Amino acid sequence: MERVMKDSLVTVFGGGGFLGRQVAQALMERGARVRVAQRDLASALRVKPLGGLGQTQFVAADIRKPQSVARAIAGSDVVINLVGVLSGDMEGSHHDGAANVAKAAAQAGVQALVHVSAIGADPKSPSAYGRSKAAGEAAVKAAFPHATIIRPSIIFGPEDQFLNRFAELISRLPVVPVIGADTKFQPVYVADVAQAIANAAADPDRHGGKTFELGGPSQISMIDLNRWIAKAIGRERSLVPVPPSIASAIASLGWLPGAPITRDQYAMLQKDNIVSPGAAGLVELGVSPTPMEAVADKWLVRYRRHGRFAGRAKA
């Protein structure tokens, strides 16, 4: 795989984000040159120290604008689209933007296209997020049939807005309301997702035209996840499941700390976010899933009452 990526130019839309920086690093470790394309390049500059001299490029691009996308892709060997939003113009970002990237990649004759969607992408989804992600997948397949579709579950890592969000809430509140208490997730480590994406990009003959669902080694309900976090950060808390009728009202108001910001995000909690039975996943992409408990303590420790010094013996 490394030989395939050596000196290749890979354009990564959204390459400066939480997942993007990990993807960029995984690609550069294989010898690829990475062109980060996104609207705001301020965060993208954090990619530069991850590679060697001349290994990174940066270009301002808005995937909702076809000409902008075409300019960003020009000269690329491989294209990866990581762009995703939880609010705002979902149709423009997930559907129109995905179509623009796939069409431009096809016209440019790139060797491989990896499109990152999400578990829950479904034209019949109760959420606009799920419907727009499904529309994006369909548009990509129509324009670039040999594209690889990656559907992760909730991604966790040092800079996530998942474990950190709940840990912050648990560290502040003695009683923690839990919305979607029974909803199941299959959290997947950001470094594993990045390696899987890089592997897919490096071997389009093997992985092109396929869809992969990425989840970690364990499934866990929302309330059990909160219990696990509370134990991990040494905080004893009362966890209170919020009844659906009240949770729906809270979602529309958005006033409860840690509550979904929009009704659409609450709608996403109505269905489990887990890998489909029999779906190809991390293992088929050459990655061994990392358990949360094996890595999360490295950053969750800051939510302990005495931070990194919690639990140490007194002199």
With contact defined as beta carbons under 8 Å apart, do 150 and 197 qualify? yes
User: What does the alpha-carbon distance between residue 20 and residue 266 come to, in Å, rounded to a whole number?
Assistant: 26
With contact defined as beta carbons under 8 Å apart, do 28 and 3 qualify? no
- Classify residue 254: in a domain, yes or no: no
At residue 48, the pLDDT reads: 78
pLDDT tens readout for residues 64-90? 999 999 999 999 999 999 999 988 899
Mutual orientation of helices 222-232 and 163-172 as an angle, nearest 10°?
70
- Other CB atoms within 10 A of residue 83 CB: 25
- Classify residue 167: in a domain, yes or no: no
Mutual orientation of helices 190-202 and 18-29 as an angle, nearest 10°?
50
pLDDT tens readout for residues 257-312? 555 667 888 889 999 999 999 999 999 999 999 999 999 999 999 999 866 555 54
What DSSP designation does 151 have? E
- Classify residue 266: in a domain, yes or no: no
Structural domains of the chain, count: 1
N-to-C CA span, the chain: 52
More reliable by pLDDT, 132 or 1: 132
pLDDT tens readout for residues 17-63? 999 999 999 999 999 999 999 998 887 778 877 877 789 999 999 99
- Classify residue 126: in a domain, yes or no: yes
With contact defined as beta carbons under 8 Å apart, do 126 and 270 qualify? yes
Please name the amino acid found at residue 33: R
With contact defined as beta carbons under 8 Å apart, do 110 and 81 qualify? no
- CATH of residue 20's domain is 3.40.50.720
Structural domain of 106: 9-157+187-217+275-285
Output the six-digit token pair for 264.
Answer: 């659409």
User: What does the alpha-carbon distance between residue 27 and residue 5 come to, in Å, rounded to a whole number?
Assistant: 8
